Amino acid sequence: MLPARAFSALRLADVLPSCLAAMSGRANPLGLPAVAKAVVVLVDGLGASAIRARAGHARFLSSRMDRRSVIESVFPATTAAGIATLTTGVEPGRHGLVGYRVLDAAGDRTVNQLTGWDDGMDPGVWQRMPTVFEQARQEAIASFSVGAPRFAGSGFTRAVLRGSEYVPAESLADRFDAARRILRTHDRVLVYLYVAELDVAAHARGWESDRWLAELEAVDGELSRFAAGLAADEGLLVTADHGVLDVPAEKHVLFDTVPELVAGVRHVGGDPRCLQLYLEPGVSGEAVATAWRAVEGERAWVMTRDEAIGAGLFGEVDDAVRPRIGDVIVSARKRVAYYDSRDANTSAQRMVGQHGALTDEELRVPLVRAGAFART
């Protein structure tokens, strides 16, 4: 029941480490040339297939898409795991952010990896690996993260952006202006710029909506203007954490209405397209997986924790991270989303755009090169 898909040789984990290596004149997985300054823009939710499907609305991005321009993100295809992999250069099984909502075994609870940080989750401990920004500091290279003011100082920011100086800028244009100022005032610098607007629009209206297209055009225009002003020793990479599928309400599956699917389940984590089920002590993961396969095997890949780890879906998995991964994982392969109707908070059921699973639309993201990096 494991997915039969070919994974790309180039990965999201390679992006920032390759930039740092290029700034020190070292060989790197992406083959980037030596530069003095590097900028990485992460456009949340921008899948490679969406750029191709809406090429007329993204002329800058689509004109630079070639055979090198599609890379593999991470599983689960969710923001917490993806951005942590980008900024640490390692897979979720090592940095520990293995999903959107995951088990905190010490607290016997599931925790939201984006917004659920509290005194029981120390960002400096929960995210277990040094960031590329911390590595840059050891090489006397300044690093900055540019994003919306609302993210400054959050637990997630402290977990995945530590080592960089956070520069708050509200609008999209302000963020690119801030990145330009940083480039002007530093001889050697690594800049990360985060764009949330497309993902927000996709969740609210869907990636096929007019609102999403308007945001895509705005991002593409800012990228075009920014790239046009790059100096000869400045490189730009544009990537994403995941892609998006639109799932209509009639394709929602209320799995708790089938008793055998929740029997023995203590906590439900993950995303609507990639559930992670944490079981009561003594309950067999294989038994629960078998029950799910009997009911949902046509619409989802169902696997135990051991099967997922054995297939390499989380990369190398450290012992301390292993309990955070669900005993059973349900990854949608059809255009469905799984919800627990017992959850009092039904806001997630209003989302149109969804992600998290193992489909190409969700896992394959762009790697667009500009400035000095376009010469590779």
What are the residue ranges spanned by the domains of the chain? Answer: 12-96+114-244+359-375, 249-354
What is the architecture, at CATH level 2, of domain 249-354? Answer: 2-Layer Sandwich (3.30)
Nearest to 373 by CA among 259, 251, 237: 237
CA dist., res. 136 & res. 130, Å (int) = 10
| Cβ 245 vs Cβ 353: under 8 Å | yes
Instruction: Categorize the per-residue pLDDT at 1 as very low, low, confident or very high, splitting at 50, 70 and 90.
Output: low
| Cβ 278 vs Cβ 361: under 8 Å | no
Q: Residue 68 above 90 pLDDT?
A: no
Phi-psi region of 60 (alpha: psi -120 to 50; beta: other; left: phi over 0): alpha
CA dist., res. 359 & res. 346, Å (int) = 25
| Cβ 327 vs Cβ 288: under 8 Å | yes
Phi-psi region of 34 (alpha: psi -120 to 50; beta: other; left: phi over 0): beta
CA dist., res. 103 & res. 112, Å (int) = 9
| Cβ 12 vs Cβ 84: under 8 Å | no
The listed CATH number (1.10.287.610, 3.50.50.60, 3.40.720.10, 3.40.50.720) that belongs to domain 12-96+114-244+359-375: 3.40.720.10
Q: Where are the alpha helices (DSSP H) in the chain?
A: 15-23, 48-53, 59-63, 79-88, 92-95, 123-126, 132-138, 155-160, 172-185, 197-205, 210-228, 259-262, 285-296, 305-310, 360-363
Q: Residue 70 above 80 pLDDT?
A: yes
Q: Residue 7 above 80 pLDDT?
A: no
Q: What percent of the chain has pLDDT over 70?
A: 98
**299 Cβ contact partners less than 8 Å away, ≥ 6 residues apart:** 253, 332, 333, 334, 336
Token pair of 28, please? 């790197």
pLDDT in tens, 210-228: 999 999 999 999 999 999 9
| HEC secondary structure over 269-310 | EEECCEEEEEECCCCCHHHHHHHHHHHHCCCEEEEEHHHHHH
CA dist., res. 143 & res. 331, Å (int) = 36
pLDDT in tens, 320-339: 999 999 999 999 999 999 99
Q: Residue 184 above 70 pLDDT?
A: yes
Quote the pLDDT of residue 5: 60
pLDDT in tens, 232-248: 999 999 999 999 999 99
What type of residue sits at position 46?
L
Q: Calculate the average pLDDT of the chain.
A: 96
Beta-ladder partners of 110: 103
3-state secondary structure of 364: strand
What type of residue sits at position 216?
L
CA dist., res. 135 & res. 157, Å (int) = 17
Rounded mean pLDDT of 257-283? 98
Q: What percent of the chain has pLDDT over 90?
A: 94
Quote the pLDDT of residue 6: 62
Token pair of 44, please? 């949340």
Quote the pLDDT of residue 4: 60
pLDDT in tens, 97-146: 999 999 999 999 999 999 999 988 999 999 999 999 999 999 999 999 99
Quote the pLDDT of residue 358: 95
| Cβ 241 vs Cβ 100: under 8 Å | no
Query: Greater confidence, 183 or 376?
Result: 183
Quote the pLDDT of residue 346: 83
Task: State how far the alpha carbon of 42 is from the alpha carbons of 70, 192, 288, 292, in Å.
Answer: 14, 8, 37, 35
| Cβ 301 vs Cβ 217: under 8 Å | no
Q: Length of the chain in residues, anyone?
A: 376
Rounded mean pLDDT of 38-46? 98
**Residue-by-residue DSSP string for 172-223:** HHHHHHHHHHHHHH-SSEEEEEEE-HHHHHHHHH-TTSHHHHHHHHHHHHHH
What type of residue sits at position 47?
G
φ/ψ of 137, rounded to 5, equals: -60, -35
pTM above the 0.85 mark? yes
pLDDT in tens, 152-183: 999 999 999 999 999 999 999 999 999 999 99
3-state secondary structure of 91: coil
